[in-house]
Amino acid sequence: MNHSQAAEEFTHDVERTTWHDKTLWFVREKRDKAVFQIPEWEALREAGSRIKAHALSNLDEYLLEFEQNAIRNGVKVHWAADGKEHNDIVLQILQETGATQMVKSKSMLTEECHLNDFLIEKGVDVVDTDLGERVVQLAKEPPSHIVMPCIHKKKEEIGALFHEHLGTEKGASDPKYLAEAARQHLREKFMTRRAALTGVNFAVAETGGFVVCTNEGNADMGAHLADVHIASMGIEKIIPKARHLGVFLRLLARSATGQPITTYSSHFHRPRPGQTMHIIIVDNGRTTQLGRPDFRNSLKCIRCGACMNTCPVYRRSGGHSYHNAVAGPIGSILAPNLDMRKNADLPFASTLCGSCSNVCPVKIDIHDQLYKWRQVLAAEGYVDNSKKQGMKLMASVLANPKLFRFSGKAGRTVMRLAPFSVSNPLNPWYKQREMPEPPKESFREWYVKRGKS
């Protein structure tokens, strides 16, 4: 299903759509309140954007500096060109350790690489330990949001899921009760797993250390109890200096959930005695994106999710409609880079209102890039012929004042005399809308008359 078909399925459930919309808007409002308390917010955004731009322009040097420092700290560093290589490296580490079970904290990169499916196929029991991630894992679904993975699920649905898999009381939907049940369930997993995988929010070239941000402490529990800690990071996670963390940690939590700081911002530098620590640095299409001048800025993303919470299309179509690991506006500019054919629909899933660019903490020009992707996709032949012909026709009408006036008049007449010709189920634009009353005259006609009088 393409985005519009999947979105149509989502919106059939009117109650869920309305509630999803309101919930995400509530998070957006929390973000606004947190941001307005910081007079230097715009300066912070500017600093974050510039640091990232600098890091991306010198990525080769900073990645090597990071590698050298991490090795000096006693960490084993691996490089993966794509998702397959990343998954193979994880499997190899697990096999060398003799681990057949692993706990994993939230990592959108591993979603992008489809690590869970790969490992499960190879006989490894992978347990996601972020509460939302565990919910979608039990439901056999992908996350629908990068910060709130099960935001599309109601507490009653989670109660039913936990009753089936964790043996909680039938019909229970009290969030406290369910969270406690998940806590006990996950504790047993933490205590018995020898291997843990975490994501990386920021990797500091200067120190070879990295920071992982969670609100539940699950990354820390996993990493501290396991014999082997694997950290997976995309190449764009690099920042040059430790002092730059002060900028990004302030931007991230406020933009994501409206918190002043993420509950756990854990700094990892070296393995504890007796532990092995691995870092896998993954490209998976990022250097291609870096080489596209119009789209390289998308690599500044710190995965806060603010562009999703504010997007009127995301809020009313749900994350799964984007059929990509990262949904929403940022996902729609990252996904075509990975596969233009498969993801050609995504840059069109936007009103281009620009709200995403307004809230982005690192000032990515998201809506401009969505617009530019449309042009690239059309030029590369990935846009429906009917849409292309329709646009050509529209362009010729708009370029010819006489034709434009005639078309307007003809359209108004048809809408008045035969409204069903446009207001019918075959016309997708009118499926969920009321027919507007056709005006008696165009603005131009009114303006000319007014001028004469």
Residues that bind ligand SF4 (CB under 6 A): 255, 301-307, 330, 359-362, 364, 366
Give the N- to C-terminal CA distance of the chain in Å, as an integer. 55
Contact indicator for 336, 343 with CB cutoff of 8 Å: yes
- In angstroms, what is the minimal distance from the CB of 448 to ligand SF4? 46
Contact indicator for 146, 197 with CB cutoff of 8 Å: no
> Which residue, 168 or 262, has its beta carbon nearer to ligand SF4?
262
> Which residue, 189 or 300, has its beta carbon nearer to ligand SF4?
300
> Which residue, 178 or 299, has its beta carbon nearer to ligand SF4?
299
> Which residue, 168 or 357, has its beta carbon nearer to ligand SF4?
357
Buried b (16+ CB within 10 A) or exposed e, 69-96: bbeebebebbebeebebbbebbbebbee
- In angstroms, what is the minimal distance from the CB of 365 to ligand SF4? 10
> Which residue, 105 or 310, has its beta carbon nearer to ligand SF4?
310
> Which residue, 168 or 309, has its beta carbon nearer to ligand SF4?
309
> Which residue, 253 or 304, has its beta carbon nearer to ligand SF4?
304
**Which tokens sit at 173?**
């939907």
- In angstroms, what is the minimal distance from the CB of 239 to ligand SF4? 14
Structure-derived torsion over alpha carbons of residues 368, 361, 240, 50, reported in degrees to the nearest 10? 50
Q: Which amino acid is at 128?
A: D
- In angstroms, what is the minimal distance from the CB of 421 to ligand SF4? 41
Instruction: Tell me how long the chain is.
Output: 453
> Which residue, 59 or 326, has its beta carbon nearer to ligand SF4?
326
Residue 266, classified by CB atoms within 10 Å of its CB into exposed (0-12), middle (13-18) or buried (19+), is middle
**Beta carbons within 10 angstroms of residue 135's beta carbon:** 22
- In angstroms, what is the minimal distance from the CB of 267 to ligand SF4? 21
Spatial separation of the C-alpha atoms in residues 133 and 111, rounded to whole Å: 11
State the helix-helix crossing angle for 218-225 and 175-192, rounded to 10 degrees: 20
> Which residue, 245 or 364, has its beta carbon nearer to ligand SF4?
364
- In angstroms, what is the minimal distance from the CB of 57 to ligand SF4? 18
**Beta carbons within 10 angstroms of residue 383's beta carbon:** 19
Residue whose structure tokens are 């931007």: 251
Spatial separation of the C-alpha atoms in residues 369 and 212, rounded to whole Å: 28
Sign, Cα dihedral of 297, 298, 303, 306: positive
- In angstroms, what is the minimal distance from the CB of 139 to ligand SF4? 24
Q: Which helix (H) or strand (E) holds 230?
A: strand 228-234
Buried b (16+ CB within 10 A) or exposed e, 293-327: eebbbbbbbbbbbbbbbbbebbbbbbbbbbbbbbb
- In angstroms, what is the minimal distance from the CB of 324 to ligand SF4? 13
> Which residue, 53 or 397, has its beta carbon nearer to ligand SF4?
53
- In angstroms, what is the minimal distance from the CB of 260 to ligand SF4? 17
> Which residue, 105 or 369, has its beta carbon nearer to ligand SF4?
369
- In angstroms, what is the minimal distance from the CB of 28 to ligand SF4? 11
Q: Which amino acid is at 113?
A: C
Question: Within a 13 Å sphere around the CA of 8, how many CA atoms are in the beta-carbon half?
Answer: 8
- In angstroms, what is the minimal distance from the CB of 75 to ligand SF4? 27
Spatial separation of the C-alpha atoms in residues 56 and 296, rounded to whole Å: 8
